[in-house]
Amino acid sequence: MTSAGNWNRENTKPKNYNADLSIKQAARILVLGSRDDPTMVRVFEDETKLPDQTTIVGVGTKRDDFDWDALRREPPTVILVTTKGIKDLLAELLTTPEFASSIQWVHAKSAGIEHCTSPALAASTVVMSNAKGHFSSTLAEYGMMACSYFAKDLPRLLQQQQDSNWEKYSILELRGATMGIVGYGDIGRATAKLAHAYGMKVIALKRRRVLDDDKDAYCEKIYCASQDPTALNTVCAESDYIYVAAPLTPETEGLIGKDQLAVMKSNAVLINVGRGPVLDEKAVIDALTMGRIKGAALDVFEQEPLPADSPLWKLKNVLLSPHNMDQTDSFQHEATDFFLDENLPRFLRGLPLYNVVDKAAGY
């Protein structure tokens, strides 16, 4: 099954397929999640409203939740992943002979797929897709807010207001500053779009180069990690704001560590919206404590919830949020809508799916 490209709620035409095409295959959906998930109401409230040839054959998060004999009689063709903690269960399904021959598509109702990846998934013949394209706008907005937080010294501003203190001070412009984006996927590109509008110079790092990189509308230069092992350090050294949006894979764990922090400017601000373990958290804490870099805006952490004894809570040069900067009231409902209204109709008609991921690479 080929890919229809990447879906984005700002740019992609809704329901961009021919609904008159006949249905070619059934979608027997096994949901790795909970019926109590409020963002899955459209799926569970009235299964008669699901598209033709679509049925739910099981719902659960652990092995004992399923009637395995019933699943063997009516094996799933689609697995919908809506929660974490299912990696081993998914791997078992994909390696069980009766199911390995029937499952055609795995869809994650999230952008990250590290909770799904395994050697079994990578070796399988199934197509996997995710929900990227829903979370990019708000994370891009957060990125610009984080830049402004440090450029305008918002903590000082709020303190002076609280103290009724009319004391002028100089601030920094974002215009002309360099934004370096580590992980130039959908989120990175949405952030580059806003940074470019602010008049920032944007550079980016991605794993693989494609032909259109030289024509990118927002980046002055795109570095390729697979072609240049020094590219990451170059981006870190040249940037005033380092925006990390890389997925979590074996290759990206600890990607930003002592070596990268050592080459950053003393006035650099590190922003992480990808996954916590992409940063070496101890090295970041040391750099912040010693004033090696100006500050950090962190929405994700190695351990979540962040332990109460973490030094990050007390550091004055840290903007900290509880992994909620993509958490709008509607974002998970939109991810459900994407599955039901965009990719599921395509699967039923044998059309290419949006957001097909590289199962082995992990994104």
| Candidates 47, 98, 220, 304; catalytic one | 304
- Is 220 assigned a catalytic role? no
2-23 residues labelled b (16+ CB within 10 A) or e (exposed): eebebbbeeebeeeebeeeeee
Q: Which of 183, 193, 182 is nearest to 216 (CA)?
A: 193
| Candidates 107, 189, 275, 346; catalytic one | 275
- Is 63 assigned a catalytic role? no
DSSP letter string over 246-304? Answer: ----TTTTT-B-HHHHHHS-TT-EEEE-S-GGGB-HHHHHHHHHTTSSSEEEES--SSS
pLDDT by residue (tens digit) across 267-287?
A: 999 999 999 999 999 999 999
Query: What pLDDT is attached to residue 242?
Result: 99
φ and ψ at 335, to 5 degrees? -65, -35
Q: Which of 155, 186, 189, 183 is nearest to 169 (CA)?
A: 155
Query: What pLDDT is attached to residue 211?
Result: 64
| Candidates 9, 42, 323, 333; catalytic one | 323
pLDDT by residue (tens digit) across 238-263?
A: 999 999 999 999 999 999 999 999 99
- Is 275 assigned a catalytic role? yes
Residue showing tokens 């990696």: 87
Query: What pLDDT is attached to residue 39?
Result: 97
pTM equals: 0.93
Nearest-angstrom CA–CA distance, 204 and 194: 14
Nearest-angstrom CA–CA distance, 137 and 153: 24
Report residues of the chain scoring pLDDT below 70.
Answer: 1, 211
- Number of neighbours of residue 130 by Cβ within 10 angstroms: 27
